[in-house]
Amino acid sequence: MTWRQDKTLWGLTIGLAALLLLNFVVPDWFRSILTLSLARGSVALGLLVLWRCGLISFGHALYFGVGAYTVGLMSRYLGITDAFLTIACGVVTAGLLAYGLGFLLRQYRGIFFALLNMAFSMILYGVLAKLEELGSTDGISLETTTYLWYAPLGAENKTALFVFAVILTWGVAVLVHLYLRSTLGNMTTAVRENEIRLGYLGYSGERAVHAKFVVSGLLGGFGGAIAALTIGHVDPDSMVYWPVSGDFVFIAILSGTGNVTAPFIGALIYELIRTYAFDKFPEIWQLIMGGTLLAIIMFLPNGLWSLVDRWRGRKAAVATLRTGKEEA
Amino acid sequence: MNAIPRTRFMALGAALAVLLAAGAASAQTVKVAVPTFLTGGGAPTYGTASKNGVELVVRAINEGSLPAPYNSVGLAGRKIDLVVYDESGGGTKQVTELRNKVQKEGVDVVVGYVSSGSCAAIARVVEELRVLTLLTVCGTPRIFEELVKEPKYLFRIINHSTAGNVGAAHYVVKKLRNEAKDGYMGINQNYAWGQDAWRDFNLGVQTLAPELKPANKQQFPKLFSGQYGTEISVLLRAKQKVVHSSFWGGDIEALIAQGKARGLFKRKTFVFTVGEITAHRIGKKFPPGQLARGPYGLYAEGIDTPLNKWFRSEYRKAYKQPPSSPAYHYADGIVAAKYAYDTAMKANGGKFPSTDQVIKALEHATYDILAAKVKMSLGKGHQAVTSDRWGYAEWDDAKGEIVVKDVVEFKAECVNPPEGVNAADWVKGGMKGAKCD
Amino acid sequence: MSAVLEVHDLEKSFGAVVAAHDINVVVEEGETIGVIGANGAGKTTFVNLVTGHLPPGGGTVEFMGRDILGLSVRAIARMGLCRSFQVPQVFLSETAFDNLMMAYGVAEEDGAGLLTPLVEEERATRVEAHLARYQISEYRDVIGSALPQGIRKLLDIAMATVRKPKLLMLDEPTSGISAEEKFAIMDILMQALREERTTVLFIEHDMEIVERYVDRVLAFYQGEIICDAPTAQAMRDQGVREYVLGRRHEAGAEARAAASGRSSSGEETLAVSDLDVSIGATQILRGVDLNVPSGSMCGLIGRNGAGKTTFMRAVMGALSIQRGAVRLGDVDLAATPAHRRAHLGIGFMPEDRRLVPELTAEENILLPVWATGAENTRARLQWIYGLMPEVEEFRHRGATSLSGGQQKFVAFARALMCGTRLLLLDEPGEGIAPIFAQRMVEILDDLKKEGASVLVAESNDVHIARLLDRTFVIERGSIVDDA
Amino acid sequence: MDFELLLIILVDGLVYGSYLFMVAVGLTVICGVQKLLNVTHGALYAFGAYLTATLLILYFQVDWPQFGAFAVMLFAALFLGVLFGVIIERGLLRHLYHEDEHIIVLATFAAFLVLEDVLLLIWGTDPYLAPEPLGLLGSTEIAGLPFDNYSLSMVLLSAVVAAVLWYGLNRTQFGKLLLAVIHDRELAQAMGINVNRIFLLTFMLGSFLGALGGAYQAPAISVQPGIGVEVIVLAFAVVVIGGMGSIPGALIGSVIVGVARAFAVHQEPALELFVIYLIMAAVLIVRPQGLFAPAKPRTI
């Protein structure tokens, strides 16, 4: 399949253009929601990579948090506010952490994998909440972001960040898409269904998982860094605590694993649902979120993307969460 | 192909957004947003009371039935359009919500925030969004010392937590020297508020009475853990008799229940820096002990300014219980807004003032709140100081409610650092420039 | 000719059970070697040890002159020692094409190459060619779980040969393939392998296959090689005849004598008419009519994937019925909840044993009794032990410590325990050594004498034909012949 | 470190451990039989606490025999167990059993979110206090420290619960039938076991135990929003440490965590926050399947 035939690449690029145009239309609050959706979407994309091979992490707030805190700490202690540099560091740190933990985690599957991730994220939460140097539960506020020589203020800064985030996210999504097309990235069903066979074909499932885990870690860090810049503040409760990981999984389910664009759409919808639930029913917004999630699981098991697939008259991609029963 | 649902969706989103932006900000009211805990662990202690307090005062202001000097209708003549929303969910959510409230719903004033976490998160955003914001509770002194050094739109209309804990130190040194001769220890929740509370209290005591020694290890149980059996054992074993605790909410109530069953409060003297709220709630079940609070809740009992009398009676009428301090804090927030708007209007020759004029009016101001006067003397005129009151709480069968005995009042200048001095450094540096008597 | 594989003094034991002892084998290039032996004799274990799936207890393994002991499966496979599986290990939710595509991707890429696109034109053509070589092109776009057993088997082997291995180990290439197909499939296979000049070692129960395709035989018994000789010679070997082939002919004779005409009364135990059953979207059974007269032994004969197992699962209520009637005596089974059916006296022996590992053999046998609360269980248990004394011997052993064949007997006994009115036996003779299969036939024979109503599913009826009062031949989900 | 302190640490550890066990055991049972992680467990705990607290407040207004309080707790737990068993298992999970395990966890997570707010709608945000039973049993002096017998009685309760469950699973016919179901649902059905009924019963049992945990805690804590969230992670950790669905595992896991925590609180309070997660990570590194891993059948 050549570049020109790749619908997803086209889709992503059109999406990029659309968002950049949208920048001039939308009000500020919506722009910041969009930017956040890009951040959360990236993490969900990371989950998608794992999910395709039947793995899911209930602790990806760990990488999200590491990405975010790297940015926060650089701003606080080194006075570095350059978006390019901080994001790069955030991504790398998260990636390294994922690489390290990967050696342990790659041995686990199913619910153990999910929960062990949660355990690690909770350890980070403990550390952050404990240490005043890391801002404790009050967290750390960032200095105003700069972009190389460009140092806009106020609303202009947010616009800059949005454009910046959109372009970066586009790049990331494209890379992930290419990865998923590669031999390594295609080891999804293989890992999910039959690692023994994969081993006898000449590649170990654990290595494949490790690679995927690092990819998802990098994405987590990227999302965290973007989020930190968008919010201008990092704190453990809204970035590392386990329900945050829950949100990411929520988004992943909502989106479905059909395509790399899905998580971003899912993230946006998630943000909107939350915003309005929060607005209109301040006392019971949780109930509404929960209800939505249930509804999705019950009636749209393969996520929103399955609608797109159905609408295209193509049967939902095989690489979905529900491996179902083997019927032979 | 893939793009189509996306672009289509965006278009929709944008349309929606524009529409909403248009719908917002209606002319003849002042839209006041009030964030407080409606769900989660903060709701019981803070959420309910603060919501009640705000709604009571807002109703009165819109009717113009508040006692003098606030007996005119509305803020600078415009009725208040009140939006109360949930503060739970951490900084990220609060920042997003604040944006929505201001940019989407065109809120003019924000009055509230309980947790230091939320305050720290939104502090800079407030300045970016240029929205007048009156913080009502959040403890941390870092707001004006680190986060927003040149505040314009951000105010806090209550002491920061340092004052309360320095007050506690003063009180211990003054009244509990004897109990504290074997030293003192702390049990505080393991998060910023609890950690700061202990640091300020401890340094305070060390400055005032170096001979009183702290235990070498303090307890910092997880926030909302609710299980204190082991901690209680530690406390019971310790030789120190005085225990400092900034516990609040379900945690303090659990600690009391579990402690009572093991005679903890017979052996130890507790200094609960925010125990007042709980004493209020659980009344008879509250163990006799030392409590802090400024001129709010229980401590406001005696104060009979017309405002305070009105508030206490109306509150009891409306909610069948006396107002606790969160009720006061939030109500005071609204009152402060009222003061600022009305004063600004006068200055503006009776015309409705611009936000800048309102800010001018509030900076460095001295004005009446329900049960006291506050001076906006710190943080370049954006951080309030009030006196801090301490006393011994116990159940009064005659009254059928809990009361505080031999109240000591510490002047605002005594428990607060002077302008321009970072609270932590001030306490560490031996609280220089404190004016006590 | 040089040695491809050299194994010396290989040892392995699981707890008390010795799975491999003092194994010495040298495989020369270009050989085709057959591994025979009863179930639990250690054949698969041998393959697992050599290919690095299990860590050996001791010994040396040299492949192409290099010591591969302790290397990972992955590394060994990359050196060119590949294997296929007894139960085909294909990616069930991917098409045959994608299965092979992944195999090629892994075989051809390494390191950074793994990050280049998997699907490219040239590779696709190679995959097509490979499908063609194994004559499964027509199944190109069928997903693994929907492939017929035989095809899945071929695909499994095809995937194993993608690397052009120096040595290929096949684990029972013909198990679960019907008699008519087996030679056809083996021919395809051996021809393809010859084209690739692969040295082959395969495990096989079917002696006809062994005699026809193999130059040299390794016979396993209780974890040891009891005979290593050219095929013809091995077949004459006393030990092999004793422990592997079993006294087939004599036993057969007895059975035939015993099977002398027993008539069955007219009334039906199981009456199935016009039965449709689907799994997921694909319809498996199409208008099946089948009656088991009480006291008779009927056969349900058909190749794998013909719908035998589906039929039984449907009768047991594991699958829901789209159309048609299923009656046991005068009870409408379709209207009876699945778990009630055992209460009615139906005993079911699944093809793949499925014992509860935590329980002992006897506890497994007693499960249905506990569930249904049936009466006079002691007597019935004794009767069963009477039928199968070997089961009584190991009745207190944990289910996990039993060999495949033994587990089969336990599953059989379990079915008998509550199968007072009807027995459904799914491939009792499948995948177990001739010697066990032989016993199974004898037991069935005794059972027949007891006058039980039985329905036996088999892929070929050579062993049991003489026992059957009636035979239903099922093909592609419908009964094509009823005799 | 003196012997007295060790003794105290042990007692504190056991008390906390038994608390952990009580909140985790229900989860363990469901996890073991139905192979699903039930997040609603947290809500069960909360409901148990709320209902008990409310009932106790009422109960202590009439002067019936004080010890009836314990009957009240038991009743509350039973009632909720049955109620939620039916609602959640019949209403929700039954439709999802064919799904991937993650899906089911998430479904229960969603249900949990909903239940949290239902809780809020029923009881509002006001906390409930019913500490009376805490005093009922008096207290005991151990190593010079007073311990309230109520907390100590929890150790006993846990021990009894553990013993009963273990016996029921491993020594009774019903237990062995459960094993069959655990191992192979379809076959169990073919052997005549009513799997649906067993699942419903298991879920009720699990829910009952969850609610019982909350009910028994109710007097010791202030019952208010958010208490459910806190126990979930704890319970998960215990289940993972002990090995999915292993009752002895949960018991020993709880005790280990409890004692370790007590030790930390007495000696190094700074560690308190991490103890449980450190142990969880450590155990999983050494024994990937948890302390008491269920037997695994061979694949090829």
Q: Which residues pair with B38 in a beta bridge?
A: none
Please report which confidence band the pLDDT of residue A302 belongs to, taking 50, 70 and 90 as the band edges: confident
| Residue B267: other Cβ atoms inside 10 A | 14
Q: In a 3-state reduction of DSSP, which class is residue C442?
A: helix
Query: Which class is B162-293+387-428 in CATH?
Result: alpha beta
> Residue D294 has what DSSP assignment?
P
Q: Name the nearest CA neighbour of A214 among A123, A97, A113, A120.
A: A97
The phi, psi pair for A29, rounded to 5°, reads: -60, -35
pLDDT for the residue C404: 75
Q: Do B222 and D129 touch (CB under 8 A)?
A: no
Can you tell me which residue has the tokens 């393809």? Answer: C192
Please report which confidence band the pLDDT of residue A84 belongs to, taking 50, 70 and 90 as the band edges: very high
Within a domain: A311:
no
The 3-state DSSP class for residue C440 equals helix
Quick one: DSSP state of residue B75?
B
The answer to whether the peptide bond before residue B69 is cis (omega within 30 degrees of 0) is yes
Instruction: Name the CATH topology of B27-159+303-385.
Output: Rossmann fold (3.40.50)
On whether any CB of chain A is under 8 Å from the CB of D282, the answer is no
The predicted-structure confidence for C399-439, as pLDDT tens digits, reads as follows: 878 877 788 889 999 999 888 889 999 888 776 777 788 88
B and C adjacent (3 or more CB pairs under 8 angstroms): no
| SS3 (DSSP) at C106 | helix
Cβ neighbours, 10 Å, residue C363: 21
Phi, psi of A299, deg, nearest 5: -110, -15
List, in order, residues 6 or more apart from C221 with CB less than 8 Å away. C37, C38, C41, C239, C243, C244
Give the list of residues 6+ apart from residue B383 with CB closer than 8 angstroms, or none: B143, B144, B155, B156, B160, B376, B377
CA distance A324 to chain D (A): 6
3-state secondary structure of C140: coil
Residue whose token pair is 């294997």: C83
Q: Bigger pLDDT: B333 or A144?
A: B333
- In chain C the domains, ranked by start, together with CATH numbers, are 3-245 (3.40.50.300), 252-482 (3.40.50.300)
In three-state secondary structure terms, C256 is helix
**In terms of DSSP H, where are the helices of chain D?**
3-34, 40-59, 68-84, 91, 101-123, 132-136, 149-171, 173-183, 185-190, 195-217, 227-242, 247-267, 275-286
Ranking A313-327, B289-303, C182-196 by mean pLDDT, the lowest is A313-327
Interfacial residues of A (vs D; Cβ cutoff 8 Å): 54, 56, 58, 104, 107-108, 110-112, 114-116, 118-120, 122-123, 126-127, 129-130, 196, 242-243, 246, 249-250, 253, 283-284, 286-287, 289-291, 293-294, 297-298, 301, 321-325
- B250-259, B363-372, C256-265, D93-102: segment of lowest average pLDDT: C256-265
The whole-number pLDDT of residue A266 equals 93
Q: For chain B, which ranges sit under pLDDT 50?
A: 1-10, 18-26
At D294, the pLDDT band (50, 70, 90 cuts) reads low
Residues 6+ apart with CB under 8 A from C138: none
pLDDT at A320 over 50: no
- Report the residue of B50, B94, B99, B124 to disrupt the A interface, i.e. the one with the largest count of A CBs within 10 Å: B99
Q: How many other β-carbons are positioned within 10 Å of the β-carbon of residue B149?
A: 9
Q: Count the Cβ atoms, other than its own, within 10 Å of residue D102.
A: 24
**Nearest chain B Cα to A9, which residue?**
B2
Residue A259 pLDDT level (bands cut at 50, 70, 90): confident
Q: A175 to chain C: nearest residue by CA? A: C115
Q: Burial letters for C284-302: b for 16+ Cβ neighbours within 10 Å, e otherwise?
A: bbbebebbbbbbbbbbbbb
The per-residue pLDDT for C247 is: 44
Q: Answer yes or no: is A22 within a domain.
A: yes
Query: Alpha-carbon distance D34 to C367, whole Å?
Result: 19
pLDDT 10s digits, C315-366: 998 888 888 889 988 888 888 888 888 888 899 998 877 888 888 899 999 9
What is the CA C409 to chain-centroid distance, rounded? Answer: 15
Q: What is the mean pLDDT of residues D14-31?
A: 93
For the cut 80, the answer to whether the pLDDT of residue D148 exceeds it is: yes
Q: Which of C38, C401, C402 is nearest to C220 (CA)?
A: C38
CA angle B92/B94/B98 to nearest 5° reads: 120
Cα separation, A177 vs A260, in Å, equals 6
Mean pLDDT of all residues in C70-87 = 88
Q: Cβ–Cβ of A130/B92 closer than 8 Å?
A: no
Beta bridge partners of B293: B389
* CA of C464 vs chain A CAs: smallest distance (Å): 26
For every residue of chain A, which 3-state class applies, written as one string? CCHHHCHHHHHHHHHHHHHHHHHHHCCHHHHHHHHHHHHHHHHHHHHHHHHCCCCCCCCCHHHHHHHHHHHHHHHHHHCCCEHHHHHHHHHHHHHHHHHHHHHHHCCCCHHHHHHHHHHHHHHHHHHHHHCHHHCHHHCEECCCCEECCECCCHHHHHHHHHHHHHHHHHHHHHHHHHHHHECCCCCCHHHHHCHHHHHHHCCCHHHHHHHHHHHHHHHHHHHHHHHHHHHCEECHHHHCCHHHHHHHHHHHHHHCCCCCCHHHHHHHHHHHHHHHHHHHCCCCHHHHHHHHHHHHHHHCCCHHHHHHHHHCCCCCCCCCCCCCCCCC
pLDDT value of position A319:
36
Which of the pair, C269 or D107, is modelled with greater confidence? D107
DSSP D121: H
Helices and strands per DSSP (H, E), number in chain C: 17, 20
* pLDDT for the residue C390: 87
What one-character-per-residue DSSP string does C215-248 give? SEEEEEETTEEEEEEEHHHHHH-HHHIIIII-SH
The pLDDT value recorded for residue D161 is 94
Chain D contact set for A323 (CB, 8 A): 100
Picking from C385, C350, C454, C372, the residue whose alpha carbon sits closest to that of residue C418 is C372
Q: Locate the chain D residue with the closest alpha carbon to C85.
A: D300
Residue ranges with strand state E in C64-104: 66-67, 81-83
- Rounded to an integer, the average pLDDT of C252-274 is 55
* DSSP per position, B25-59: --TTEEEEEEEE--SSTTIIIIIHHHHHHHHHHHH
d(CA C411, CA C413): 5
Please tell me the predicted confidence (pLDDT) of residue A323: 34
The stretches of C149-275 forming alpha helices (DSSP H) are 149-161, 179-195, 207-213, 231-236, 238-240, 248-258
Percent of chain B, pLDDT > 70? 93
Residues of chain B with CATH 3.40.50.2300: 27-159+303-385, 162-293+387-428
pLDDT category of residue C103 using cuts at 50, 70 and 90: very high
Of 1.10.1200, 3.30.1450, 1.10.3470, 2.60.40, the CATH number of D3-286 is 1.10.3470
What was the pLDDT predicted at B75? 92
Contact A99, A217 (CB under 8 A): yes
The mean pLDDT of D9-17, rounded to a whole number, is 95
The pLDDT, as a whole number, for residue A3 is: 62
| CA contacts within 13 A on the Cβ side of A91 | 20
Among C89, C348, C367, the residue with its CB nearest the CB of D300 is C89
The C-alpha atoms of residue D196 and residue D89 are separated, in whole angstroms, by: 10
Residues of A in contact with B18 (CB under 8 A): 25-27
- For position C459, what pLDDT does the model report? 74
Q: What mean pLDDT is predicted for residues A28-39?
A: 90
Q: Look up tokens 């274990």; give the residue.
A: C45
Q: Does residue C142 sit in helix, strand or coil? A: coil
In which band, very low, low, confident or very high, does the pLDDT at C126 lie, cut at 50, 70 and 90? very high
In chain A, what residues touch D112 (CB-CB under 8 Å)?
290
pLDDT in tens, B369-414: 888 888 998 888 999 988 888 888 888 888 887 888 888 888 888 9
Tell me: pLDDT of D295 over 60.
no
Of residues D173, D176, D189, nearest to C339 (C-beta): D189
Supply the mean pLDDT for chain D: 89
Confidence of residue A327 (pLDDT cuts 50, 70, 90): very low
Does residue D103 contact residue D172 with C-beta atoms inside 8 Å?
no
* Mean pLDDT (chain A, rounded): 86
Question: Is residue A248 within 8 Å of residue A43, measured between CB atoms?
Answer: yes
Domain holding A234, by residue range, is 3-241
Token couple for B275: 């125990």
> D264 pLDDT exceeds 90?
yes
Q: Is the pLDDT of residue C125 over 80?
A: yes
Kindly report the number of other CB atoms within 10 A of residue D297's CB atom. Answer: 10
By three-state DSSP, how is residue D199 classified? Answer: helix
Query: Which candidate, C11, C52, C170, places its Cα nearest to that of A196?
Result: C52
- Predicted confidence (pLDDT) at residue C171 exceeds the cutoff of 80: yes
Lowest mean pLDDT among B293-307, B373-387, C75-89, D237-251: B293-307
CA A51 to centroid of chain Cα atoms: 12
Q: For residues D47 and D168, what is the distance between their CA atoms, to the nearest angstrom?
A: 27
Cβ A297–D103 below 8 Å, yes or no? Answer: yes
pTM of the full structure: 0.85
- Residue A326 predicted with pLDDT over 90: no
Nearest C-alpha neighbor of B230 from the set D267, A66, D178, D162: D267
- Residue-level pLDDT at B184: 95
Task: Locate D153 and state its tokens.
Answer: 């009685």
Interface TM-score (ipTM) > 0.85: no
Token pair recorded at residue B308: 């305070």
| D147 shares contact with chain B (CB less than 8 Å) | yes
Pick from B231, B236, B257: which is nearest to D220 by CB?
Answer: B257
**pLDDT surpasses 70 at D278:** yes
Q: According to the model, what pLDDT value does residue C305 have?
A: 63
pLDDT score, position B300: 75
pLDDT in tens, D195-210: 999 999 999 999 999 9
DSSP C81: E
Query: Which residues, at least 6 apart from C305, have a Cβ–Cβ distance to it below 8 Å?
Result: C148, C149, C150
User: In a 3-state reduction of DSSP, which class is residue D137?
Assistant: coil
Neighbours of C398 (CB within 10 A): 18
